[in-house]
Amino acid sequence: MESNAPELGAKPRTKNINSHSGRNQGDGASHRVVRKLPPRAANDRRNIYITSKTDFKAQQKRCKELLNSGVKEIFLHCMGYSITRGLNLALRLIKNSEGALGYTINTSTIQLVDELHPLCDEDDITFRQRNNSALHIRIFSNNLFNIDVPQLPAPPALPKVSQREPPKPQQPKQQHQHPQKANFKKQKAKAAKKQKAKAAKKQKAEAAKKQKAEAKKQKNT
């Protein structure tokens, strides 16, 4: 079902789709392919998942408002067909921001699972795994007010990313870092820094006091 006028990068609408999404016509159709939702890493407002159906303008507005409301960075996740759409969105956001926004891009492969529902009573449900390419765009605002925020050594790695290099089965788990966790880390770092600064201030104040006292002593003498 088409919802709005297709934007650039939208899913191409072929007229004769022989292989209906719900069926497998090739091998005698012994099962029906049922897609599952792709896994999501995080589901807060800063993570935006691009679809090929959502209105382009609406999504652009949403991102813009999010960035204007004081969020430092947002993540656009797009997969398969919607990659071009996501790229378009990111580029347009950056172009319209007149240099206030920067971006970094990560590519990854997402493992999708399809359920193969049986069509006859004797079969059981089976699964099919396939991969799809995905793109994670981080858009951050680099305006003047944010300069004092110290850049963390490691920007929060993107969740559910198995890198292009042939991945080892256990590695993605360790690589995977929850953005929330990262956020938490950041906060921790911030807090530590604050404490350090406080301590430094205290030391300074004490030093000043000592100096003053010494000066007084000297005066007295």
Partner 1 sequence: MSTQKLEYDARMGGKIILPTHVSTYRYAAGAVNEIEGLITEALNPVSSKLIFQLLPKHMRRRAMSHHPKRLPRKYRHAHKNQMCKGGNDPVIRKRPSRKYRRRPGNLLKEYVRRQRKHNWLETHIWHAKRFHMVDRWGYRLANASCDKTYRACYRASVQHCLLQDISYYTCVELQGSLEVLRNGLARMTSPQCGLSVTARTFLTGRREGTVELFVDNKYPHGALQRANFMWRPLDEGESATRTLWLWLHPSAAQATIEQLLRVFQLQSRRQQTLPLQEEPQKEQTEKPLRFWTQTKAFERHAHYSHGSLQLLVLRQEFNRFRLTGPQAQRVLASSLRAHRKGQLEAQSTQADYCEAAFQLHSPNELLSNLIMGLHIVDPRLQRPSKRTKAEPRAGAAPTGSLLFSQPECLPRSPLWQREERDRLARDIMSTHAYQELRQQHAVVPGQPCAFEEQMQPVPLLLIQRPGSQDTKYKRLGYGCGWDVIAPAKYGMALWLTLTMWGARPGGLREFDSVARESGGEQHLPDTLAGVKLASVAAEERRARYFRLPPNKRTNYRKLAVASPFSAPWKHLVRDWRTTDGPTKPGIGSYHVLRHRELLESIADCLRQRQPLPDVVPDDCLIQVQLRLKARGHVKDNALICLPSAADYKRSWRQISRNEQAPVHMEPPQPDLNERTRKELRSNHKLKLKRLRARRVREKRRLQETATKRVHIRAANTASLVRSHLLEMCRLWLPTDPAETRDSVRRQCSREVFGYVTTAGFSFTEATVCAVGYVTSGGLQQLLTNLENTKWHQQQPMCLVRDPDSHDYRWASLQVNLNVAVQTF
44: Cβ–Cβ under 8 A, 6 or more apart, which residues? Answer: 179, 180
Residue 219 structure tokens: 């005066």
Give the whole-angstrom CA distance, residue 99 versus residue 94. Answer: 7
Give the x-and-dash track for 5-44 against partner 1 (CB under 8 A): --------x-xxx--xxxx----------xxxx-xxx-x-
For the bound state, the minimum distance from the C-beta of residue 140 to partner 1, rounded and expressed in Å, comes to 23
Total interface residues for partner 1 by CB under 8 A:
41
Alpha helices in 47-169 (DSSP H): 56-68, 82-97
Positions 59 through 118 that interact with partner 1 (CB under 8 A): 111, 113, 115, 117-118
Q: Which is nearer to partner 1, 36 or 194 (by Cβ)?
A: 36
3-state secondary structure of 47: strand
Positions 113 through 172 that interact with partner 1 (CB under 8 A): 113, 115, 117-125, 127, 159-160
Residue 180 within binding range of partner 1, rule CB under 8 A: yes
104-124: b or e for each residue (b if 16 or more CB lie within 10 Å)?
A: eebebebebebebeeeeeeee
For partner 1, the binding residues (CB under 8 A) are 1-3, 13, 15-17, 20-23, 34-37, 39-41, 43, 53, 111, 113, 115, 117-125, 127, 159-160, 173, 176, 178, 180-181, 184
